[in-house]
Structure 1
């Protein structure tokens, strides 16, 4: 009788010791802890990043670095001390496998689960922005490199846990990691600030293309050095990743600039069908129809009027002579939440104020101020106008007299014939930024 024995593939046999670690035990719990922590950190201020790709990038990156890396260090460290806690170290050393394979069999499942937890959290954030994105495009390199950082941190934490098996090593290591990362990330005057993976990138900036990958080399090199110094037969092998990590660190510290302007943030997209034209930053081009609609009442009343700015724009800094400032949509979570204007009437009023305001004048004549408020009321009245009118109506006799004068000025402007009003407004906007009251037409 011939006995047939099926020979299993070597790859399957080599993976068999890892299966229990992947399926149950501490590794899945570590991945779940990272996932839950990052989701909670992202969910609380969701309105401040959801809808903007650059905002989503910065928020998920900050959470991954400041929360994910310390958690990965703690998870790896706790797993690394398991042999000492369970008193199985002597037994495992009798195994035919070498120290490095034994280390990886314990460390890789935790590191992979931590990386998967981060990837799922980052994917959820990207999906949350995708359905209400206002323009631009996702920055996929950042979550990918962050995943590698967390993987490396878990391996490094495992090495620390093997060397220092004290039960409080994991929380102490996580706390130290958080403090060091926070110090390097937010003290930008520090010479070594570039060593932090979290670089100061506002929504108008990008890191230089090589910075994320060099940061991975820096952190991964340190982790590999710790692992090889602990497990390699020839400890001198650890000098190779140490040299790579040192070269990466020098590159990050000595670099002149680790950021560059975001080219998308420097471009404008315009709706030329209105007067003035309406232009928004290209990062928020999907908001242009909503903004044009919000300003439709204002721009409709200005049709045929001369001496107007050519366009509304939302560039940072002072406007050009032929431009008027749009209310800024950033930071998200105020005027724009999840890709929608929260208060179109308030937005239109703020835009109208950039046309009629004389904010740089030290003093303003009462008649000129009354005229400005009448033009403001005609173009896009303030949502608070009725409240202040009612307050003045209940005030002193002087308050009621000023209210009556304002109401008469509004009535005179509204009572003009259309051609007469266009001519008057053209004359008015020719002096919209003049502080001398003698040249300003009044109502």
Structure 2
């Protein structure tokens, strides 16, 4: 036997092997367009809400999760349905039957773009968002497992849509799937039972919480198991082979049973003690934030410094401004979470935030009937005047209180020493006892 060689003439190139059917399917059809649409949905939606998440890993992930399930999932189902009905519309059934491959293998090749492109697009969009958070995040690291579970869920929905497109011949089935998926997920997300944690769009917005370690794998097993059971039940022709669809179905049911044991209120999320660890700046009164917001501290100190300058050293002044979730100590002034007031580690409106902080400083919870009597209205007017004197409100925000103007004018007319002496007396008085509140 003699070996034969193929001569390649000078100036010519050897013929490249034809791409395989899977590669051809992934490059053509609706797959690339579906991936582009899903990625654009993620990036456009997240860009419009950038001030809400471009500060913490957790804030970004808490928006990416419902976005994947509520918008990207129904879009993947609709695209998969169109992809699944393509061969029937083109009359290519006999051509596929002539290919020397099993029906399940042919279905796998045809359905791959419906699952892989949406999943890859979700991961790519998530990666871009996390890169945008990276320069500003103060603490921790992104939780990759929940994002992978989201990608699996979206890919699974695309696979289910593909099977539905092959079974149902109705042309309007694709948009109906998208609408039904969006409405169903949106409605289920507002239920108060543990069933909502089975949905790929379940929302939870507290940044200082982390998922329990097993929830993301269980969620992925739940969605992927259902999709694979549906896929095998359709793709396997004989009744005996269809029993294989029970394997992913049992896995999905087991994962769902574990998820349904979660509490209805906070589900798989648990508070992270390291995330709420206090981080404080030097000075008096001290300004403290939780570890999640450590890089916000310089901006917050700068914002509150005009008030601290007047409070420093006074009897009755607060010991610290406690921002965010932390254990309150005697002398703390608890302020709300700064997440909504911050743009890239800077207080978005320092004047407004300072005004709200002083309002919180002088707020007291009075028992019923305490804030009453002939001096009650005068006390509220004085409170408005002192707040406006310490931290003037920005234009358009301050309440126009005619009774407070005279008190404010007298405060501003005093000398610095007189203002300081009055502030000492005001801090010592209780706003719940109007007769004790001093008049400027």
Q: What TM-score bracket applies, with the shorter chain setting the length?
A: 0.7 to 0.9
Q: How does 1:152-231 map to 2 (within 5 A)?
A: 152-189=156-193, 192-203=195-206, 204-231=208-235
Q: TM-score, normalised by structure 1?
A: 0.84
Q: C-alpha distance in 2, partners of 1:218/1:72?
A: 18
Structure 1: unaligned runs, 5 residues or longer:
7-11, 393-398
> Quick one: structure 1 residues 165 and 329, their matched pair in 2 at CA, closer, same or farther if it must change by over 3 Å?
same
Comparing 368-377 with 230-239, greater Cα deviation is found at 368-377
**Structure 1 residue corresponding to 2:302, chosen from 285, 293, 303:** 293
Q: C-alpha distance in 1, partners of 2:50/2:22?
A: 37
State the Cα distance separating 1:294 from its structure 2 match: 0.8
**Structure 2 residue corresponding to 1:241, chosen from 245, 248, 259:** 248
Q: How does 1:20-419 map to 2 (within 5 A)?
A: 20-189=24-193, 192-203=195-206, 204-232=208-236, 234-256=241-263, 257-271=267-281, 273-315=282-324, 321-330=330-339, 332=340, 335-357=341-363, 360=366, 362-363=371-372, 364=375, 372=383, 375-384=386-395, 403-414=405-416, 416=418
| Contact 1:21 1:109 survives alignment (8 Å) | yes
Summarize deviations over 1:380-425 as a string: whole Å, max 9, x none.
3333599889x96xxxxxx7xx745532233225353xxxx65654
Indicate the residue corresponding to 1:3 in structure 2: 4
Q: TM-score, normalised by structure 2?
A: 0.84
State the Cα distance separating 1:107 from its structure 2 match: 1.4
| Contact 2:25 2:110 survives alignment (8 Å) | yes
State the Cα distance separating 1:182 from its structure 2 match: 2.1
**Structure 2 residue corresponding to 1:437, chosen from 411, 431, 435:** 435
Q: C-alpha distance in 1, partners of 2:351/2:284?
A: 18
| Contact 1:356 1:432 survives alignment (8 Å) | no
| Contact 1:74 1:171 survives alignment (8 Å) | yes
> Quick one: structure 1 residues 126 and 14, their matched pair in 2 at CA, closer, same or farther if it must change by over 3 Å?
same
> Quick one: structure 1 residues 56 and 388, their matched pair in 2 at CA, closer, same or farther if it must change by over 3 Å?
closer
Indicate the residue corresponding to 1:9 in structure 2: none
Q: C-alpha distance in 2, partners of 1:183/1:388?
A: 39
Secondary structure in structure 1 of the residue aligned to 2:200: coil
> Quick one: structure 1 residues 377 and 33, their matched pair in 2 at CA, closer, same or farther if it must change by over 3 Å?
closer
| Contact 1:325 1:354 survives alignment (8 Å) | yes
| Contact 2:289 2:322 survives alignment (8 Å) | yes
> Quick one: structure 1 residues 369 and 71, their matched pair in 2 at CA, closer, same or farther if it must change by over 3 Å?
closer
> Quick one: structure 1 residues 255 and 302, their matched pair in 2 at CA, closer, same or farther if it must change by over 3 Å?
closer
> Quick one: structure 1 residues 369 and 154, their matched pair in 2 at CA, closer, same or farther if it must change by over 3 Å?
closer
State the Cα distance separating 1:308 from its structure 2 match: 2.0
State the Cα distance separating 1:184 from its structure 2 match: 2.2
State the Cα distance separating 1:224 from its structure 2 match: 0.8
State the Cα distance separating 1:377 from its structure 2 match: 4.9
| Contact 2:333 2:360 survives alignment (8 Å) | yes
Q: CA RMSD in A?
A: 3.1
Indicate the residue corresponding to 2:13 in structure 1: none
| Contact 1:279 1:312 survives alignment (8 Å) | yes
> Quick one: structure 1 residues 322 and 62, their matched pair in 2 at CA, closer, same or farther if it must change by over 3 Å?
same
| Contact 2:145 2:217 survives alignment (8 Å) | no
Q: Aligned pairs, how many?
A: 419
Summarize deviations over 1:140-175 as a string: whole Å, max 9, x none.
222211111122222222222222233222222222
> Quick one: structure 1 residues 327 and 382, their matched pair in 2 at CA, closer, same or farther if it must change by over 3 Å?
farther
| Contact 1:31 1:110 survives alignment (8 Å) | no
| Contact 1:377 1:410 survives alignment (8 Å) | no
State the Cα distance separating 1:13 from its structure 2 match: 7.8
Structure 2: unaligned runs, 5 residues or longer:
8-15
